[in-house]
Structure 1
Amino acid sequence: MKLQAKSGCNSRDFAIVFIVGAPGAGKGTLSAYLAQKHNLVHYSVGDGLRAWMHVNRSTELAAKIQSKLDNQGFLTSEDLNPFIYREILDAINRNGSEVKGILIDGYPRCIEQLDSFGIWPFQDMVPLAPGDDGRVSLEIKPDLVLSFQITNENARARYLGRARDTNDSADKFEKRFKEYELETVPVEEEYRKRGILVSIDVNGTKEENIEALTGSLQQYGIWQKVTST
């Protein structure tokens, strides 16, 4: 999206980048690298939601979300989008014009979430600038979607090796990997059709994956435009 100029400054571009991939693909590690290197905000949907639930666990909304997680295993866009929109708004307003964009890690996980993301609800709170056609659009779309590709075997080894909590098990990994194949792969295919999907092989070491990621992103003009300013 393009944001209006502040006094004495030019208008600026602000990138929205989605990060998708199987559990254990290294989404958090690689997102953190990109965020630090290019002055982007990294928001992990899973980590962010867990942190919010911990602080607000006694609230009615937290109880509702926990019930859905326990019974459905996932949240709908109605549950998630308010958190995501708020993070985008916070990133836009952070440190004046220094932040160049936001990496949203772990979203969208299904077609329903993909379809729901669009109409910007904060039009009165964000100084959106006219685009190349001279019009201000309130339809917000991701500029790029990064898909981290990894084999089941490598993802499983990483997932079990990191073991974030006592609930992380081989059975849980297989369940989540199947959910990724059934729900998120169609998301990747849809973004591929739209021409904004960047697939990166992340089966290597951290250093090899960073090199592959950097090389892939350099081919995209929107990435160059945002990170070079």
Structure 2
Amino acid sequence: MRIVLVGPPGAGKGTQAAYLAKNLSIPHISTGDLFRANISQGTPLGKQAKAYMDAGNLVPDEVTIAMAQDRMAQPDAENGFLLDGFPRNVSQAEALDRALADDGVHLDAVLDLEVPEDEVVKRIAGRRICRKNSAHVFHESYSPPKEPGVCDACGGELYQRDDDSEATVRTRLEVYHTQTEPIIDHYKAQGLVVTISALGKVTEVTERAMAALERAGTAQQK
């Protein structure tokens, strides 16, 4: 299956992408991984992206699109892929449509993870990271430490990242609503969008997503 995963920040896209890709035996292609791989390998696209980033500028759509096209052309993506973080806007979605059409293939589904805005804020703003080891992550509501402000694993101080403040989260949500959310209407016009609730346990959301994708795949075959 060829799938695009969309949803607001805090919807659990990265977690669900990993589980879904494993269950469907297709590669998980994320924008972050594309950038890191191209920059670390010193590819021509990576050098272009790094030049923009070093100058404090956004990487142009055409560079991001070219990276995605190159990755989708790899042998492990021949039978499908799951795109996470791309396309990020309508122009990227239209470019993806053209690229797939040129290859004689098409998307099977666009999975929209739906989460109420207040829940997104609660999920992200409640995160606390250990200063000694950033791999130790807690949450004030969902997985609180035994002692407030202290890491259970190493005793390090727990803190809230600037990116996780409520004000920053709401700004990120506004960017999502204005830039990324319109791609849902773009794909609805093609009959590709399947929307599921991303509330509940991770396994419950994965089961919900797999069932929705199975229905979408069956519908595409008719």
Shift of 1:112: 1.4
2:43 is the alignment partner of 1:43? no
Question: Aligned pair count?
Answer: 189
Deviation at 1:82, TM superposition (A): 1.4
Alignment partner of 1:169 is 2:134: no
CA contact (8 A) 1:143 1:222 kept: no
Q: Please, what TM-score do these two structures have when normalized by structure 1?
A: 0.69
Over aligned residues, Cα RMSD in angstroms?
Answer: 3.2
Answer yes or no: is 1:112 the counterpart of 2:88: no
Residue 60 to residue 206, structure 1, CA distance change in 2 (3 Å) = closer
Residue in structure 2 matched with residue 142 of structure 1 by the alignment: 107
Normalised TM-score (structure 2)? 0.71
- 1:180 is matched with 176
Relative contact order (alpha carbons < 8 A, sep ≥ 6): 1 or 2 greater? 1
Equivalent position amino acid for 2:64 in 1: L
- Residues in 2 aligned to 1:217 and 1:112: alpha-carbon distance in whole angstroms: 25
Q: Is the 8 A contact 1:43 1:104 kept in 2?
A: yes
2:76 corresponds to: 94
Q: Is the Cα–Cα contact under 8 Å of residues 194 and 216 in structure 2 kept in the other structure? A: no
Deviations 1:46-91 (A, max 9, x none): 233245445549x7424333057x344xx4320201111111111x
- Corresponding position: 1:66 with 2:53: yes
Structure 2 residue runs of 5 or longer lacking an equivalent are 136-160
Structure 1, 168-177 or 28-37: larger mean CA deviation:
168-177
Q: Secondary structure at the match of 1:220?
A: helix
Residue 77 (1) aligns with residue 61 (2): yes
Q: Which blocks of at least 5 consecutive residues in structure 1 are unaligned?
A: 1-14, 122-135
Question: How far apart in 2 are the matches of 1:145 and 1:19?
Answer: 6
**Residues 50/153 of structure 1: CA separation in 2 closer, same or farther (3 Å cut):** farther
Give the 4+ runs in structure 1 shifted more than 6 A.
162-165
**Residue pair 1:32, 1:42 contacting (<8 A) in 2 also:** yes
